[in-house]
């Protein structure tokens, strides 16, 4: 008689403070969607029912539960000490305590999933002793792809017709390079810029009052959408011609691979963490003048635009959701077999 295997039951820890508009939330939603479409897995609400617990946040709930359920626990490391600088107020004062907290939190799991090679290096440097696997985020290419209907719909929503649209997706905070984004727009008046995202942490955001003033005084060729629904994100990419993110630090910028799946050229700051995960598939600069030069070339040179569109497509092929799920399921299987022993 054939034995029917029961689905592996996964509980996902995603504490409320993570918010609705960031890469961590995107990673959680994409994982849950993939698991719900696989008959071999089921997502359960009750942690007591889980075979595997996959944490994407490491707040107080995580700390409380990790002591009791450590033998079932995997944690995705989305945050390192540098993540706080330029994101939250007074971060340089409490960063040493945050580093201690991160070390303690990641050491309370059976396995840590580092979202980039750089994150693994940083975690090892701050004293994380739990086994660390590198598994970069993935993109659903059925959802994020070029779409003329979406492009037309979202452009019509903002009254845009033939403009060359340069977009950034992310929270508005100094770390994301918002001031350089605004200055680049000021120096490129013939380009339409969009910043898709807001300040979900309000007054806790670094430079909050300065940011509000900068946005109020920004040039007219920038549209600030505020926080948008995740389901609308494919439309914002589809309406764009270039993805431009002058961020000063990213562990693994989910938006870059979403944009690459839509074949948008990537223009990024020349940060040291990018080559290990984005390789050579992006344009880079370090100054506003450099950003302006790159955007001007993309706008005015069809061959340049086509080349970097192809580079983005190649990058997206590296981060398919199927490949990600194959690796994460191996990690789940290891936890299940270990918990049975």
Q: Can you identify the CATH homologous superfamily of domain 8-138+320-340?
A: Glycogen Phosphorylase B; (3.40.50.2000)
In this prediction, residues 121-134 reach a mean pLDDT of 95
| pTM: predicted TM-score of the whole model, two decimal places | 0.84
Q: Which residues pair with 267 in a beta bridge?
A: 244, 283
**3-state class (DSSP) for residue 158:** coil
Residue 79: which pLDDT band, with cuts at 50, 70 and 90? confident
pLDDT confidence of residue 20: 64
pLDDT at 341 exceeding the cut of 60: no
Query: Environment class of residue 193 by beta-carbon count within 10 Å: exposed (0-12), middle (13-18) or buried (19+)?
Result: buried
pLDDT at 231 exceeding the cut of 80: yes
In this prediction, residues 157-162 reach a mean pLDDT of 95
Q: Where are the domains of the chain?
A: 8-138+320-340, 148-318
In this prediction, residues 280-309 reach a mean pLDDT of 98
Do 148-318 and 8-138+320-340 fall under one CATH topology?
A: yes
| CA–CA dist 75, 66 (Å, integer) | 10
DSSP string for residues in 124-148: HHTT--S-EEE----B-TTTSS--H
pLDDT confidence of residue 3: 45
Instruction: Give the lowest-confidence range in 11-25, 68-82, 294-308.
Output: 11-25
In this prediction, residues 52-61 reach a mean pLDDT of 93
Q: Quote the percentage of the chain above a pLDDT of 90.
A: 71
CATH numeric code, 148-318? 3.40.50.2000
In this prediction, residues 158-178 reach a mean pLDDT of 94
List the one residue out of 12, 33, 305, 277 whose CA is nearest residue 142.
33
pLDDT at 227 exceeding the cut of 60: yes
| CA–CA dist 108, 317 (Å, integer) | 34
pLDDT confidence of residue 138: 86
| CA–CA dist 239, 235 (Å, integer) | 6
Residues 35-45 pLDDT 10s = 998 999 999 99
Sheet of 165-169, strands arranged across: 222-226, 192-196, 165-169, 242-245, 266-269, 283-285
**3-state class (DSSP) for residue 76:** strand
pLDDT confidence of residue 177: 95
Whether residue 30 contacts residue 140, with contact meaning beta carbons closer than 8 Å, is answered with yes
Whether residue 96 contacts residue 84, with contact meaning beta carbons closer than 8 Å, is answered with no
Residue 336: which pLDDT band, with cuts at 50, 70 and 90? very high
Q: Quote the percentage of the chain above a pLDDT of 70.
A: 92
pLDDT confidence of residue 265: 98
Residue 85: which pLDDT band, with cuts at 50, 70 and 90? low
């Amino acid at each position: 008689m054939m034995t029917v295997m029961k689905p592996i039951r996964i509980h996902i820890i995603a504490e409320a403070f993570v918010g609705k508009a960031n890469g961590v939330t995107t990673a959680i939603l994409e994982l849950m969607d993939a698991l719900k479409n696989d008959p071999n897995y089921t997502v359960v609400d009750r942690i007591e029912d889980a075979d595997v617990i996959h944490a994407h946040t490491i707040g107080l709930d995580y700390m409380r539960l990790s002591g009791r359920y450590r033998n079932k626990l995997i944690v995705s490391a989305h945050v390192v000490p540098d993540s706080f600088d330029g994101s939250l107020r007074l971060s340089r004062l409490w960063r040493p305590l945050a580093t201690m907290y991160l070390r303690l939190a990641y050491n309370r799991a059976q396995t840590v999933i580092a979202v980039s090679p750089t994150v693994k290096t940083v975690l090892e440097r701050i004293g994380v002793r739990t086994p660390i696997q590198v598994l970069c985020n993935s993109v659903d290419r059925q959802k994020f792809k070029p779409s003329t209907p979406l492009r037309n719909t979202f452009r019509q929503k903002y009254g845009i017709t033939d403009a060359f649209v340069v977009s950034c997706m992310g929270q508005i905070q100094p770390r994301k390079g918002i001031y350089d984004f605004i200055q680049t727009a000021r120096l490129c008046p013939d380009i339409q810029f969009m910043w898709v995202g807001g300040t979900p942490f309000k007054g806790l955001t670094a430079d909050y009052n300065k940011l509000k003033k900068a946005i109020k005084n920004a040039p007219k060729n920038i549209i600030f959408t505020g926080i948008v629904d995740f389901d609308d994100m494919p439309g914002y990419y589809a309406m764009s011609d270039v993805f431009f993110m002058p961020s000063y630090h990213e562990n693994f910028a989910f938006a870059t691979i979403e944009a690459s799946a839509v074949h948008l050229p990537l223009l990024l700051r020349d940060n040291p963490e990018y080559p290990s995960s984005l390789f050579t598939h992006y344009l880079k600069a370090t100054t506003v003048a450099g950003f302006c030069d790159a955007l001007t070339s993309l706008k005015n040179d069809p061959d340049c635009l086509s080349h970097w569109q192809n580079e983005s497509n190649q990058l997206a092929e590296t981060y398919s959701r199927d490949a990600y799920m194959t690796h994460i399921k191996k990690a789940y299987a290891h936890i299940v077999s270990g918990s049975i022993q």
